[in-house]
């Protein structure tokens, strides 16, 4: 477990650009060291803001996109191509404009795919894909992702792990179907906390005033069942990438001043 480190930027645009630059460096370093990199994407406004910033960053060409494995932390269980699906939004923000190897893009199934409307079967299949990608050097049935990103919901949810729902209590399975989510759509597929914690680095993205209370709760010692963001940490590093609005309720001792 790594203790959270906070990086607070002046506003959400700067946060997205700085996080994109950080991600480029992390991917390039992993590819130089090992030949490939693996990243877990998040949905939501902050995750898509980061992808759009990455699409506009000239340094994106430093990445060998064909040697990048992409996974998702969660998916809204909707038909293929639905504009609310996290993968649809990621494709629009970035993925359609870079030369990825399609066999390395591991989207979660859609509700009109091979598993029909069965989110639990879709989750079990995704868990099998993760297990197949894990090697002996990994720490269980999930690859050691280089970076796993999570948007933080105003209610402290991360991925599709909502406070008090069964998914956040899961300790065995790496991926689960989520039913009755309080944020639409109610049916989702999500990595669990044990899968999230397999990542080398976990980055929590929180920008905007509506994230201030969630950040305050998650960073003030709340339990992970009540505040799932509090249970999201990486093996080597846990970074909270924030803007000043999201950090506005945190004690100033927790972080240095925002960049101008
Ligand atoms: O529904 C979801 O919400 C969260 C947070 O989204 P945001 O728009 O409040 O930043 C996101 O991280 C998750 O992937 C997504 O499915």
120 within a domain of the structure (yes/no): yes
221 within a domain of the structure (yes/no): yes
CB crowding 235-253: b at 16 or more within 10 Å, else e: bebbbbbbbbbbbebbeee
Residue 247 CA from chain centroid, whole number: 19
pLDDT average, residue stretch 118-137: 97
Ligand 1 geometric centre to CA of 16 (Å): 15
188 within a domain of the structure (yes/no): yes
Q: Is 155 in the pocket of ligand 1 (CB under 6 A)?
A: no
Q: Which tens digits make up the pLDDT trace of 170-224?
A: 999 999 999 999 999 999 999 999 999 999 999 999 999 999 999 999 999 999 9
252 within a domain of the structure (yes/no): no
**Which residue, 130, 148, 258, 248, is CA-closest to 200?**
148
From atom 14 of ligand 1, which residue's Cα is the shortest distance away?
Answer: 43
Q: What CATH number should be reported for the domain holding residue 99?
A: 3.40.50.1360
Look up the ipTM and state it: 0.97
- CA torsion 44→1→9→60, rounded to 10°? -70
255 within a domain of the structure (yes/no): no
Q: Alpha-carbon Rg of the chain, whole angstroms? A: 17
Cis peptide before 185 (omega within 30 of 0): yes
Domain count, the chain: 1
32 within a domain of the structure (yes/no): yes
Sequence-separated (6 or more) residues with CB below 8 Å from residue 64: 31
Q: Which tens digits make up the pLDDT trace of 129-148?
A: 999 999 999 989 999 999 99
Q: Which tens digits make up the pLDDT trace of 225-250?
A: 999 999 999 999 999 999 999 999 99
194 within a domain of the structure (yes/no): yes
Task: For residue 36, give its domain range.
Answer: 8-231
pTM higher than the cut 0.95:
yes
Ligand 1 geometric centre to CA of 64 (Å): 27
> How far apart (Å, rounded) are the C-alpha atoms in residues 16 and 206?
10
92 within a domain of the structure (yes/no): yes
């Amino acid at each position: 477990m790594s203790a959270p480190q906070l990086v607070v930027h002046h506003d959400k645009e700067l946060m997205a650009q700085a996080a994109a630059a950080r991600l480029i460096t992390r991917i390039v370093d992993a590819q130089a060291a090992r030949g490939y990199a693996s990243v877990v994407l998040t949905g939501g406004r902050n995750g898509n803001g980061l992808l759009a910033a990455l699409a506009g960053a000239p340094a994106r060409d430093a990445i060998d996109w064909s040697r990048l494995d992409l996974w998702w932390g969660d998916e809204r269980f909707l038909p293929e191509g639905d504009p609310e699906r996290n993968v649809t939004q990621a494709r629009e923000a970035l993925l359609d404009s870079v030369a990825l190897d399609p066999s390395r893009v591991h989207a979660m199934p859609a509700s009109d795919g091979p598993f029909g409307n069965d989110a639990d079967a879709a989750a079990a299949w995704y868990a099998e894909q993760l297990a197949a990608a894990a090697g002996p050097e990994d720490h269980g049935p999930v690859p050691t992702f280089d970076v796993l990103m999570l948007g933080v919901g105003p209610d402290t949810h991360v991925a599709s792990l909502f406070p008090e729902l069964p998914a956040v209590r899961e300790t065995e399975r790496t991926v689960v179907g989520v039913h009755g989510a309080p944020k639409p759509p109610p049916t989702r597929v999500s990595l669990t906390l044990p899968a999230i914690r397999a990542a080398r680095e976990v980055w929590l993205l929180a920008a905007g005033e509506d994230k201030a209370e969630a950040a305050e709760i998650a960073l003030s010692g709340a339990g992970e069942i009540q505040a799932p963001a509090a249970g999201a940490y990486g093996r080597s590093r846990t970074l909270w990438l924030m803007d000043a609005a999201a950090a506005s309720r945190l004690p100033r001792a927790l972080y240095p001043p925002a960049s101008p």
